[in-house]
Structure 1
């Protein structure tokens, strides 16, 4: 069954070319099919749209009036289809990512660079926050994907682990002299501790592990930034719990020292998450593919 839109497309082409045969050629249709389409449209509208002459066809007054609207509407539809094609080909669009500051700096930047080099016309919107905050805005539809600290227990989210990370304790020169040999987690808990704020997923993971060992902690400092943890420990304000992979620069330069434990804290991971019941945009899909391919 021929749709009304198809009839209008035929009408528009005949109006432009002023010929059934030329319109048929342009539309890859037979001339009788074009004539039939115009007659069907005229019947449905109950008005004559074209004057038929041996030299061709011309729009009637009513046809000219309709042509202005139809031609404009079809141009808008064509523009919309072109825009969709641009999004599909990643020649335009926006990628919205939720991520924490530390993960942005130590994990995300190389993937942003690789994606931008491949798809330079895609704009980025980066929203920072804790894992809890990022998951909340992800579920609210404010970002397309999130890069978070795992574990995350949320059945509405699809989780793709990317890299393993390890929680360690670090100290400055003063505490290094006081800790010449490996110590237990229980002994660490008795030291002045510098931890992330309680709503941080990293803090919760470590704290839950300590509680599983029957150890309760009361930190001296609670901070909102991983970089501040490193700086506070560097000036000997206490023992900081940090992510080892994100602290190597300080450790390698001898600014901080890893506290040797008799028992390591279990590893966890950083990964990508997105809503299970919402299809990823083309840009988001390609970005996730870049991350996965680079990790192989």
Structure 2
């Protein structure tokens, strides 16, 4: 059975006339009659009794009408649902973000997006860059926002934010009084670092290696807020993203150290699988990410 056949059949049942069904469906009466005959032949059962020029449903016809209504109703529901998705009235997004982005940038983006599109089901997770990369490759998430390098050739990336990493200390640390920090100063200090797999950690290691700077990682913490608290309590120095330090630098609880002739800069990237279909919903969310980034 085809949807066309079921639609014709239910219209004939509703109107009680093949000619009227044809008029409503813009199909000739002979074509309507032939469709019903073909359907009866296909099912090997009579759907209508033809008594005194009236069409009367058989028991089999009544059963088929029951199922036909359910099927056509379900099709209509599916069409309406897909139309709502196309018009961004409903839908689902699975977003993953690395620690810095997920903690400091993503929440206001999501708030702005869901305010305009309240019916969109938007789920997000926060983990380090390597985990987000794996989830993209496994199609566990639709889109990733990461700060670290991406290794897979199956992943496309699109830069959306320029970030700078600051060398920091507590206000009690003697280095906070120095105008310029030398490489030798870092080597003498206890260093607080992120865990392996962190995008921030990869950038730090890459730049440190580039300038042949050695440092002693005394504490390994997988949480930026924990690192900031450790720095404030003078347990060591660290390198953290500017976006995570604005309030602390303004209050003076953390001091930025200027490492002479060296800058720690990077880009945040939107990532997705190269085979991913970028729907209207995904493109709209990417647009919101970039618009928010340009305002900050």
* TM-score (norm: length of structure 2): 0.90
Aligned residue in 2 for 1:233: 231
**Hey, what's the Cα distance between the residues in 2 that align with 1:147 and 1:255?**
29
Aligned to 2:116: 118
What residue is the counterpart of 1:86 in the other structure?
A: 84
Structure 1, residues 215-245: CA drift from partner, whole Å, max 9, x if none?
3332121111111221111111111111123
Kept after mapping to 1: 8 A contact 2:169/2:232: yes
**Secondary structure of residue in 1 paired with 2:217:** coil
Of 191, 207, 210, the residue aligned with 2:208 is 210
Q: 5 Å matches for 1:244-255?
A: 244-255=242-253
Alpha carbons 2:22, 2:32 under 8 Å: kept: yes
Structure 2 residue aligned with 1:35, among 26, 33, 36? 33
> What is the distance in 2 between the residues matched to 1:103 and 1:156?
22
Distance 1:293 1:258 in 2: 29
Structure 1 position 274 matched with structure 2 position 275: no
Alpha-carbon offset, residue 206 of structure 1? 0.9
The answer to whether the 8 Å contact 1:206/1:265 transfers is no
Matched, 1:185 2:183: yes
Change in CA separation of 1:236 and 1:294 when aligned onto 2, cut-off 3 Å: closer
Tell me what 1:52 maps to.
50
- Could you tell me how far 1:271 is from its partner in structure 2? 2.1
Q: Whole-Å Cα distance in 2 between the matches of residues 117 and 211 of structure 1?
A: 44
**Displacement, 1:177?**
5.3
Equivalent of 2:5 in 4, 7, 12: 7
Question: TM-score, length-normalised on structure 1?
Answer: 0.90
Structure 1 counterpart of 2:173? 175
Gaps in structure 2 of 5+ consecutive residues:
none
Residue 162 of structure 1 deviates from its aligned partner by 0.7
Alpha-carbon deviation of 1:86?
2.5
